[in-house]
């Protein structure tokens, strides 16, 4: 198991944003994390990646208890993530953004080696022609790919993708899904992805985890989850849901 999450919960003052989430993630899988808005998906990412300290439970990454660790230590241990709302380092160039990922990520590279990695990763996410542009000047789709490139440059074992498809046009979605698939096959990276574009997440994921109001309501293969009654209820009780989900 690359990641074990046991009974993780997070409370903000009086609000229980997340409670009792438990799952194991074997190496090499893609886990889709779905659920309505406000279900606690990003909160779960924050608890896993060290941005928040969980109020309850335990997170184990590659056999090490990392509950409440700092985000920069998690990056060093080989966990990388993207942000739902993109956070480019605006006044730095695209290439410099990716170099930051390579320099301070798992492999802790020096600048010249990090530069080579950045060039390779930018090629991979098809941003190489934008290398010297300021990151702030990219459009949303390009910024999403920049987030991806920064995360990949860290050479992570586990990649947390937070809605990398949101706000993209159909052709960009196809490109991004392709990239996600290639990450697994070519780079041997385990992935958890939060996604609202259902047909894409159904298509890509090995397993799905469904959150609703901070609780884990279902887990299983895409087919199992799509036919799960609780899940259908959570998604406004749409009886045709399963069909829609599978066909997109």
Under rule CB under 8 A, residue 159 binds other proteins: no
| Residue from 11, 58, 62, 76 binding other proteins (CB under 8 A) | 76
Give counts: helices (H), strands (E), the chain. 10, 10
Q: Could you count the other beta carbons within 10 Å of the beta carbon of residue 248?
A: 10
Binding of other proteins at residue 105 (CB under 8 A)? yes
- Tell me the sheet residues that pair with 16: 11
Comparing CA positions, the residue from 198, 197, 127, 146 lying closest to residue 167 is: 197
The tokens for 14 are 């009086």
Helix (H) or strand (E) holding 233: helix 229-234
- From 7-15, 85-93, 121-129, 188-196, span contacting other proteins (CB under 8 A): 85-93
Asked if 220 interacts with other proteins (CB under 8 A), we say: no
> Interface mask (CB under 8 A) for other proteins, residues 36-55, using x and -?
-------------x-x----
Q: How far is residue 228's CA from residue 73's CA, in Å, rounded to a whole number?
A: 37
Interface residue with other proteins among 89, 166, 175, 246 (CB under 8 A) is: 89
Rank residues 119 and 206 by Cβ distance to other proteins and give the closer one. Answer: 119
In the list 66, 154, 165, 183, the residue contacting other proteins (rule: CB under 8 A) is 154
């Amino acid at each position: 198991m690359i990641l074990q999450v046991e009974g993780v919960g997070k409370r903000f003052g009086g609000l229980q944003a997340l409670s009792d989430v438990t799952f194991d993630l074997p190496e090499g899988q893609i886990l889709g994390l779905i659920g309505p808005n406000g279900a606690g998906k990003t909160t779960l990412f924050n608890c896993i990646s060290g941005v928040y300290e969980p109020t309850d439970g335990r997170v184990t990454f590659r056999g090490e208890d990392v509950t409440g660790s700092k985000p920069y230590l998690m990056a060093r241990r080989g966990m990388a993530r993207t942000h739902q709302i993109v956070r480019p380092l605006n006044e730095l160039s695209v290439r410099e953004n990716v170099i930051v990922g390579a320099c301070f990520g798992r492999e802790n590279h020096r600048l010249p080696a990090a530069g080579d990695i950045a060039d390779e990763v930018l090629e991979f996410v098809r941003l190489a022609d934008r290398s010297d542009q300021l990151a702030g000047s990219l459009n949303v789709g390009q910024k999403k790919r920049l987030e991806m490139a920064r995360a990949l440059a860290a050479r992570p074992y586990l990649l947390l993708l937070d809605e990398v498809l949101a706000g993209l046009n159909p052709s960009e979605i196809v490109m991004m899904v392709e990239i996600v698939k290639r990450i697994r096959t070519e780079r041997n990276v385990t992935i958890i992805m939060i996604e609202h574009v259902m047909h894409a997440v159904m298509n890509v994921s090995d397993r799905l985890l469904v959150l609703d109001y901070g609780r884990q309501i279902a887990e299983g293969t895409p087919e199992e989850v799509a036919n799960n009654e609780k899940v259908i209820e959570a998604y406004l009780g749409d009886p045709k849901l399963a069909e829609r989900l599978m066909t997109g």
